[in-house]
Structure 1
Amino acid sequence: MPENSISVSEARRSGTRLVGAGIAAIVVILITAAAFLFWTLPDANAFNARVERLFVESDLTTQAEIRLLEILAQSGTAFADTLASYRMVIFVLLIFATAMLLAALVFLVMLVTLNRRMAQIERTGIQVTSLLISREENTVYLNNMDFKLTPAAMETLAVLAESRLDDEVLSGVQIEAMISGRDISDCDEAAGATRIKRLRDALGNQMVSELLVKNIAKKGYMLAIEKDVIQMV
């Protein structure tokens, strides 16, 4: 196997680390941009302060000079209002950016949760979402697959299903006694273990045929999996 191949678990851990690093980087960039914008904006009252200083320090006598200062003062007020509106626009944009960041964070958390869920499914193999036991048809419906079983195997599976509903653990002796109807003292562990083995063999062979080994009519057999998932060491 090539040395640069990366396992699924390693890729998953790398993805989780990248998600955390990406969120931290976005938060830092957003805070830095907000601080820089508010810091570089000039003071809204700076223009008015200079006009006031000019009015105090200057000896204005004519009506035209006084009118000029009034115009400058009005311009300073308009400038202050413009800066205030700019600050409000920047504040709204920052709120919008924060909302987008939170939405992205929610989606990232959902992806990480789904990633972990997929990891659990990989560890447990086939995840059973539904199990229907049809005694009339001698068929077990597992998820979207159906498997034919012998009547004896069906009885064994039915006993195990009933005990699971009651959260009970059955020994081989108890399984044999419940299926055969005999007293526990007349049964042995090996008989129950044999029933379990036959059930496993019957289900296992059909599941392998359904999920792994595919029979192509008049041609032969092949694995029912993708080529890129196969690794040989």
Structure 2
Amino acid sequence: MWETILFFTFATVCLLIYLWHWNTLTIPMKWIGIAHAINTLTLAVGTIMTLNNVDNNLYIFHFSLLLLHTAYALAFYFAIDHLLTRKLILVSIGLFITISLIFSATIQPLNEFNSYSRVLSNLLLAGMSLRYLYKLFVEVKLARIEQNSFFWVSVGLLFTSVGSFFAYGLMSYLIGLSRYHAKQIYLLIDAMNFLLIGVLIVAVYVETLFTLKRHNR
């Protein structure tokens, strides 16, 4: 129980930081804040339902994932000023929503954990993160890359997406064999969520700090 309280405390602090700095955030960072709000709200509702002995709360994770993935994808859409890449991101959003709904209607219905959709989401987000990092290192070649807030977001999402990609893939296999081992994998996913929240906090402070310095010059 203590880890749940710690997580929601950390997540709430992160959300309040984004809200406090909302007017100074760029459009990509605002979408990251929206994504974090969706994720936090979903986990809070899911936890409340579990504490109230609701038989099945998995359906909310099916539908919230569509919103969460869309928010993250739109953040990359506005962060990458490359026409073809932007078109591909929009297409990927439509494909992801379509495929996820098909999964929810067939192989992983609303009363089952949607690990296949999450694997697909993490694969797409990892690709977007790599595309943004390619832009920074190859196309733009920033001298002080640590002063770019979305660099931190991309690194955080790349690391957690790759880790979650394998974790969710393994968990979809383990759920049918051993719920104990599946739970251990889920604890790993929780650890990566903590890491991502920490990176998101760093990103918003990097953005506000260096934006303020540039305005004061």
Pair in the same fold by TM > 0.5: no
Bigger relative CO (Cα 8 Å, ≥ 6 apart): 2
**Which one has a larger percent helix, Structure 1 or Structure 2?**
2
**Which one has a larger percent strand, Structure 1 or Structure 2?**
1
Q: Which has the higher Rg, Structure 1 or Structure 2?
A: 1
